Amino acid sequence: MKPTLPHRPRWRSLALLALCLAPLLWPLEHLAERYYRSELASQNRQTLDLYVANLLGTLHRYEVLPQILGDLPALRAVLGAPDDGVTQGNANRLLNNIAAQTGAEVMYLMDTSGKTLAASNWDKRDSFVGRNFSFRPYFSEAMAGRLGRFFGLGTTSAKRGYFFAAAVRKGETIIGVLVIKVDLDHTESLWGKTPEQLLVTDHNGVVILTSRPEWRFRATRTLSDAERAAITAIQPYPTREPRPLNLSSDAWLTQTHDIAETGWSVSILAPRTLIDRPVRTVVAIGGATLLVVMLLVGLMMQRRRHYLERIAFEAKARRELEGRVAERTSDLEGLNRRLKQEVLEREQAQQELVRAQDDLVQAGKLSALGTMSASISHELNQPLAAIRSYAENAEVLLDHQRTEDARGNLKLISELTGRMASIIAHLRAFARRDRHAPESVALQPALDDALALLAKRRRSMEVELIRDLPAATLWVEAGETRLRQVLGNLLANALDALTEKGPPRKLWLSAEATADGVNLYIRDNGPGFCMEALGRASEPFYTTKTRTQGLGLGLAICETLMRAFGGELSFANHKQGGALITLRLRAGAPGVSLQPSEDRSA
């Protein structure tokens, strides 16, 4: 029976879902507006605080100057002699210098009637000298003994400024008024070109500083009759009737900071578009997200339908597969029987392999036994030959009644037997992976002992020995007996190689101290190494000799001992012919005494 599948999702169902979710955009818009309004208010509050701090800092810099400068002798002198041209000139130049140093726009000195006696702009076209400013409020406050403050437009210069005035006293009597005018135009330029606007209003609500020139000297509220009369009397603005400044509260977001000491209010006005634009963006993103959600729901419903269709198709395929499996089961049973037979045959072959491995292990044991016997024979042949030579010499010496000389030969025979015991002990230790730490050994005496064991054979072969060894003793890290064993084997191999060459036969020995240790070179003028021998010289049981001449263990044992010393053994052919063997040994600490070498005359 064909399964019943759900109908395709209809788009009108998705449209209905969209209508249900659309009201969620209104609280999203409300939350976004609150968030961006809060962020804008926080940012503008910091900007407003910085501007107010900068404005107050500018004013405070000049606030105390009128009281300090009133004590200057040059200014007091002009108040005492107002008609003296010299005194007046000194005062003018002094005020000009102080104004230039402090950055004040104008400094001027008035008598008690309000007449200007000296000014920093005395040499300018709009000089204050001779003008009367008694109508200004700051003059009245200074004459009353207070610090005069006033913001207004200059009647002479027509420039805005903030005025500080202080009385000049002689004892308790006021003899004049010193005034400093501060230019505040640069405070507007600090604002820069930003969407937010600056607005500074005085106690009349009239704009005195702003980032928009068209708002300057306009009233933000309706003025009373008393305020208009005061404006007419003191003339702080360029007009006596400031025009109103009508700002829509819906178009601007306003934050205000009041300055108590000046009676001003500093406001920052941010256009509402700074909030509306990101809010609209958030709503647009929310609408797009809603559309994506609807599309995802439609896709999920579509995928569900495809999933149900796939399940039905897989069920049909499963039934067909079960039929094929039933057909193949009988074939697999026959194949399983044949496989069991092959497993039995494989197990029998495995058992035969185990027996063959046991036989191979036994053969390896026998080979190892043969290797050890050959090693001991190889290492003891040279001392035995020397003992035989010393014994024959002792017999001849006794026949001639040379007892002391015969006793010396017997002593050497005793030392050689001790040496053989030491060699056997070291061979046993070598087979057990000897762990004895290397010791400091003198190289030259060890080399002399090895040469002494081979001296008779070398002389019988007429081999010329060329020594190039330093006079100073070379100390190396090695074992006393094992180093002699290595040197004896290498020198014996060199003599074996020279048997294949006719006279003259030569053997060179040289050594040098390097930064890494000590290098010993053994060179002969024999046939040298063939290419195969260079690669396999230290390989156990590899030899170019006949079976009666050696088993190929000498160089393998030497390289193993050298590695135990921390050294290195290398083989090469010399460019002038013959073999070159290099022993690289670690340097040892100098010893206190040298072990005596054996008699070279043996």
CATH of the domain at 475: 3.30.565.10
441 plus 575 within the same structural domain: yes
Q: How far apart are CA 104 and CA 478, in angstroms?
A: 94
150 plus 210 within the same structural domain: no
CATH of the domain at 88: 3.30.450.20
Task: Report pLDDT for 71.
Answer: 85
Decide: residue 234, CB within 10 A, 0-12 exposed, 13-18 middle, 19+ buried: middle
Q: How many domains, in total, are found in the chain?
A: 3
Task: Report pLDDT for 164.
Answer: 92
Starting at the edge strand found earlier in the chain, the sheet holding 579-585 runs 463-468, 505-513, 518-524, 579-585, 568-573
pLDDT tens, 34-50?
887 788 778 878 888 88
Q: How far apart are CA 311 and CA 215, in angstroms?
A: 76
Q: How far apart are CA 52 and CA 527, in angstroms?
A: 104
Predicted TM-score of the model (pTM): 0.43
Q: Is residue 85 part of a domain?
A: yes
Task: Report pLDDT for 542.
Answer: 52
196 plus 265 within the same structural domain: yes
Given a contact cutoff of 8 angstroms between Cβ atoms, the answer to whether 595 and 419 are in contact is: no
Q: Is residue 411 part of a domain?
A: no
Task: Report pLDDT for 17.
Answer: 63
117 plus 245 within the same structural domain: no
Q: Is residue 319 part of a domain?
A: no
Pairing assessment for the beta strands 475-478 and 518-524 based on DSSP bridges: unpaired
Task: Report pLDDT for 4.
Answer: 47
Task: Report pLDDT for 87.
Answer: 92
Given a contact cutoff of 8 angstroms between Cβ atoms, the answer to whether 507 and 499 are in contact is: no
156: containing domain: 64-183
144 plus 251 within the same structural domain: no
Q: How far apart are CA 576 and CA 556, in angstroms?
A: 26
80 plus 172 within the same structural domain: yes
pLDDT tens, 131-145?
998 888 889 999 998
Q: Is residue 443 part of a domain?
A: yes
Task: Report pLDDT for 435.
Answer: 45
175 plus 99 within the same structural domain: yes
Instruction: List, in sequence order, every residue forming a beta bridge with 254; answer none if it has no partner.
Output: 269
Q: Is residue 557 part of a domain?
A: yes
**Weakly modelled stretches of the chain, pLDDT under 70:** 1-22, 24-25, 190, 192, 353-354, 356-379, 422-437, 535-554, 592-602
Of 236, 251, 271, which residue is a domain's last? 271
463 plus 529 within the same structural domain: yes
Of 271, 288, 311, which residue is a domain's last? 271
Of 221, 237, 271, which residue is a domain's last? 271
Q: Is residue 452 part of a domain?
A: yes
Q: Is residue 58 part of a domain?
A: no
DSSP state of 426: H
73 plus 106 within the same structural domain: yes
Helix spans in 432-568 (H): 443-453, 455-460, 480-498, 531-536, 554-565
Q: Is residue 474 part of a domain?
A: yes
Instruction: List, in sequence order, every residue forming a beta bridge with 106; answer none if it has no partner.
Output: 181
Q: How far apart are CA 236 and CA 155, in angstroms?
A: 9
Task: Report pLDDT for 377.
Answer: 66
Whole-angstrom CA distances from 163 to 92, 97, 178, 361, 590 are: 19, 19, 10, 116, 97
Q: How far apart are CA 337 and CA 332, in angstroms?
A: 9
Given a contact cutoff of 8 angstroms between Cβ atoms, the answer to whether 469 and 580 are in contact is: no
Provide the CB-side half-sphere exposure for 566 (13 A, CA). 16
177 plus 210 within the same structural domain: no
Task: Report pLDDT for 434.
Answer: 42
216 plus 173 within the same structural domain: no
202 plus 171 within the same structural domain: no
